[in-house]
Amino acid sequence: MKNVPEIFGSMVFNDNVMREKLPKDVYKKLIKTIKNGERLDLELANVVAHAMKEWAIEKGATHFTHWFQPMTGITAEKHTSFITQGDGGSIRMEFTGKELAQGEPDASSFPSGGLRTTFEARGYTAWDPTSYAFIKDNTLCIPTVFCSYGGEALDKKTPLLRSMEVLEKEAKRILKLFGHNDVGRVYTTVGAEQEYFLIDRELYLQRQDLRYCKRTLFGACPPKGQELEDHYFGAIKPRVSKFMEELDSELWKLGIMAKTEHNEVAPGQYELAPEFSITNIAADQNQLMMELMKVIAEKHNLTCILHEKPFAGVNGSGKHNNWSIATDTGMNLLEPGNTPWKNKQFLLFLVAFIKAVDEYQDLIRVTTASASNDHRLGASEAPPAIISIFLGEELTEMLEAFGNSKYKAKDREDMEFGVHYLAKLTKDLTDRNRTSPLAFTGNKFEFRMVGSSLSISGPNIILNTVVAEALSQFADTLEKSSDFEKDLDELIKDAFAKHKRIIYNGNNYSDEWVKEAEKRGLYNLKSMPEVMPRFITKKSVELLTKHKVFTEVEIHSRYEIVLEEYIKVLNIEALTLIDMINKNIIPDSIEYSGALSKVAERKKNLKIKFDVEKDLIDKINGLTKSLSDKLKKFEGYIAEGKKISDVQKSAKFYRDKVLNYMDGEMRPIIDELEKTVSKKYWKLPTYGDMLYSLL
Ligand code: ADP
Ligand code: MG
């Protein structure tokens, strides 16, 4: 058994280490930077860098890197060793404050969405001292932001930090009105529950589609899917459990509070939930978590798949982004307390959230958009593409009746198990609704629409900003008020009345909801080419530039990057499918029908009936002929798509002509062939092989 408290954070230059390794005055100054956001000077950085290096070398590190999150969605690093030339051919291990505080990676190979034409290739990384440095692969990793020569953000972290500052500013204005003058900092907090699939590595390697596209492009449904629901929370298989054990311990070393691990609904699907933390740290940690999942899986001869929909017909993977607002005085601003109907501060923050989501549904939807998440949203057991909020009956009733003196709210009840010696538990104010994209879960909102492979920065940048905007409008009204209580009541009542159409407590997976949402005038933006233009509307741009979360140039560059990526992903999928059809599907099918013909021939000579063989041969010939015809048409579409230079038009074309043709016209034929061809000839692993590989 490992000594968990001993290994926890052992690879992190955290508060304890800083206190131990840094001179007292330096430590105090650094903490001021971390806690109060004060600017950092280079002299201080020199001392910190030296202590960091000594500590890192003690732990076996030889290199350092600025660790950042460019627009590729994964993290980037460029390792530099501490080695510096010393006297007489000797070497010294050195790390300066300048190296700690700032780096200059070449930005030209990272996506910049046209920003490259307006700035030099040079990019800058700058230390984010609020996120601790850590050691990974014998390398000291310094969490940084990544900007262009002109100061435009080229990463996901810069705007996240900006949005956190905006929310903090506006929330503090509100808190002041409630008399909380003691609040120093306001943070948004996030706990990101991560879903993923594990499959046997050997099988993974045999599927080009998984290797190149991270999803299967075809595959017939196995006789047993997830209908028995026997996987969810079931006992964890020994091989998976060994993987989880190692993952936990590596995460703990990096100071990541991996807390719960369990089987998910689909066979081969799992979830890991960490303890929540301040949003930028949660974002860093989620990136590390995804990276380690992949690396450690390999060691166990497994492959971790983070794609949102690797297998059609079974559940996809999401990332449940639990979001709340906390103060340095220990308040959770979304905590209702025992008498929520009297807790007007809570109700004000709650209606701010409701207003924000209703007013910027489309922008929130933008943050969950990707080629891969398009397959998940609206499919089996995933939220639809419609944004709505689940509040639960009680809170909804409470807000409906707000201001009505006759309304009698219930006190929060104890749970009744019917067994007297079980510990008394207070019921949460709301029950669960697993179908809602944005569910209130007691003292936080759980944003379930986020895809499993996405960085959580995007969704949180927007959640922070839209809520900040609502709070800012509220503060504008209330700061001018001469009768605070009266105006506050009116504000809560009005905001709820105006925005309650966004609340839906029913089953989001039902068809009725789609119709109802349309009646209510809510957006139902199903796929990337419809979603992305909502990012560059006048309203979105005004909001984001007003709060200085993005400049207009940054918004347009991101719009281009995301759509370009969409087109590239679809193009890779198309080429992979063609490759698999030519190298596997058609040859395997022909080989089988050839073998059948031989049997039929022999039977014919022996004057034995060969109807079954003939039927099969006809079926396979029909299917392969039809597939080969469609392939020609498909190749034509791809050639046509390549000629379109406008990203918006190209994205639409790829969705309508390439993706839809692939999924709707070609896949059914391939799946039918898979079901028809004998296992001996169909060499690719099937869904059944892959999903039930970890016994
Ligand atoms: P639940 O029972 O609602 O799932 P858990 O305590 O299991 O609640 O938390 C689920 C996820 O939500 C975890 O990752 C947890 O850290 C996170 N979480 C809990 N409280 C907060 C909060 N105040 N802010 C952000 N995330 C939170
Ligand atoms: Mg959850």
Distances (CA, A) of 91 to 82, 88, 95: 10, 9, 13
Tokens representing 631 are 């392939």
Q: How far apart are CA 144 and CA 67, in angstroms?
A: 6
* Ranges of H-type helices in 113-156: 115-118
Indicate the pairing of strand 438-440 with strand 83-85: unpaired
Evaluated on CA atoms 281, 287, 292, 293, the torsion sign reads: positive
- Composition of the chain by helix, strand, coil, percent to 5: 50, 15, 35
Indicate the pairing of strand 186-200 with strand 83-85: unpaired
- pLDDT confidence of residue 414: 54
| Cβ-based neighbour number of residue 536 at 10 Å | 16
Q: Residue 323 CA: which ligand is closest?
A: 1
| Cβ-based neighbour number of residue 440 at 10 Å | 25
- pLDDT confidence of residue 416: 54
Q: How far apart are CA 417 and CA 506, in angstroms?
A: 26
Q: What angle do CA 207, 213, 216 make, to 5 degrees?
A: 50
Which residue bears the tokens 């193009």?
571
Distances (CA, A) of 262 to 58, 234, 318, 435, 512: 36, 8, 14, 19, 32
Distance 680 CA to ligand 1 centre (A): 48
Tokens representing 78 are 């460029």
- Partners of 81 in the β-ladder: 63
User: How far from each other are the two terminal CA atoms of the chain, in whole angstroms?
Assistant: 25
Q: How far apart are CA 210 and CA 662, in angstroms?
A: 16
Q: Is any atom of ligand 1 closer than 6 Å to the C-beta of 269?
A: no
Q: How far apart are CA 438 and CA 420, in angstroms?
A: 35
| Cβ-based neighbour number of residue 595 at 10 Å | 15
Q: Is any atom of ligand 1 closer than 6 Å to the C-beta of 278?
A: no
Q: Which atom of ligand 1 is nearest to the CA of 260?
A: 7
Domains in the chain with CATH codes: 4-155 (3.10.20.70), 163-550 (3.30.590.10), 565-691 (1.20.120.1560)
Distance 119 CA to ligand 2 centre (A): 42
Please name which of 213, 447, 202 lies closest in space to residue 309, comparing C-alpha atoms: 213
Q: Reduce the DSSP state of residue 608 to 3 states and report it.
A: coil
Identify whether the C-beta of residue 510 lies closer than 8 Å to the C-beta of residue 383. no
Enclosing H/E stretch for 136: strand 134-136
Identify whether the C-beta of residue 315 lies closer than 8 Å to the C-beta of residue 265. yes
Looking at the chain, how many residues does it have? 695
Cβ neighbours for 424, distance < 8 A, ≥ 6 positions apart: 414, 415
Q: How far apart are CA 383 and CA 437, in angstroms?
A: 5
Residue nearest to atom 25 of ligand 1 (CA): 190
Q: With the CA atoms of 649, 655, 656 and 661 taken in that order, what torsion angle do they form, in degrees rounded to the nearest 10?
A: 140
What phi, psi does 145 have (nearest 5°)? Answer: -95, 165
Q: Is any atom of ligand 1 closer than 6 Å to the C-beta of 444?
A: yes
Q: How far apart are CA 270 and CA 557, in angstroms?
A: 35
Q: Is any atom of ligand 1 closer than 6 Å to the C-beta of 321?
A: no
Identify whether the C-beta of residue 540 lies closer than 8 Å to the C-beta of residue 363. yes
- pLDDT confidence of residue 119: 46
Q: Reduce the DSSP state of residue 77 to 3 states and report it.
A: strand
Identify whether the C-beta of residue 372 lies closer than 8 Å to the C-beta of residue 307. yes
Q: Reduce the DSSP state of residue 41 to 3 states and report it.
A: coil
Q: Is any atom of ligand 1 closer than 6 Å to the C-beta of 231?
A: no
Task: State the DSSP code for 272.
Answer: E
Burial call 178-198: b when 16+ CB within 10 Å, e when fewer: eebeebeebbbbbbbbbbbbb
Q: How far apart are CA 45 and CA 60, in angstroms?
A: 22
Which residue bears the tokens 């903490």?
31
What phi, psi does 191 have (nearest 5°)? Answer: -120, 115
Q: Is any atom of ligand 1 closer than 6 Å to the C-beta of 327?
A: no
Q: Reduce the DSSP state of residue 413 to 3 states and report it.
A: coil
Please name which of 152, 103, 104, 136 lies closest in space to residue 284, comparing C-alpha atoms: 136
Q: What is the pTM of this model?
A: 0.93
Q: Residue 276 CA: which ligand is closest?
A: 1
Q: Is any atom of ligand 1 closer than 6 Å to the C-beta of 562?
A: no
Site to substitute for ligand 1 among 251, 259, 262, 444, most atoms within 8 A of C-beta: 444
Identify whether the C-beta of residue 124 lies closer than 8 Å to the C-beta of residue 103. yes
Please name which of 384, 394, 392, 385 lies closest in space to residue 435, comparing C-alpha atoms: 384
Using H for helix, E for strand and C for coil, what is the string for 478-527?
HHCCCCHHHHHHHHHHHHHHHHHHHECCCCCCCHHHHHHHHHHCCCCCCC
- pLDDT confidence of residue 42: 85
pLDDT under 70: residue ranges of the chain: 1, 106-110, 112-121, 224-236, 265, 379-381, 405-432, 695
Q: How far apart are CA 103 and CA 172, in angstroms?
A: 34
Please name which of 552, 551, 547, 555 lies closest in space to residue 167, comparing C-alpha atoms: 547
Tokens representing 409 are 């709210």
Tokens representing 555 are 């918004």
Residues with CB under 5 A from ligand 2 (ion): 193, 320
pLDDT in tens, 248-302: 999 999 999 988 777 776 788 999 999 999 999 999 999 999 999 999 999 999 9
Q: How far apart are CA 404 and CA 489, in angstroms?
A: 11
User: How would DSSP label each residue in 55-73?
Assistant: HHHHTT--EEEEEE-BTTS
Q: Is any atom of ligand 1 closer than 6 Å to the C-beta of 285?
A: no
Site to substitute for ligand 1 among 259, 271, 276, most atoms within 8 A of C-beta: 276
Q: Is any atom of ligand 1 closer than 6 Å to the C-beta of 276?
A: yes
Q: Residue 441 CA: which ligand is closest?
A: 1
Residue nearest to atom 19 of ligand 1 (CA): 276
CA 656 to chain centre: 26
Enclosing H/E stretch for 81: strand 80-81
- Partners of 63 in the β-ladder: 81, 139
- pLDDT confidence of residue 426: 55
pLDDT in tens, 617-636: 999 999 999 999 999 999 99
Identify whether the C-beta of residue 558 lies closer than 8 Å to the C-beta of residue 596. no
Distance 684 CA to ligand 1 centre (A): 41
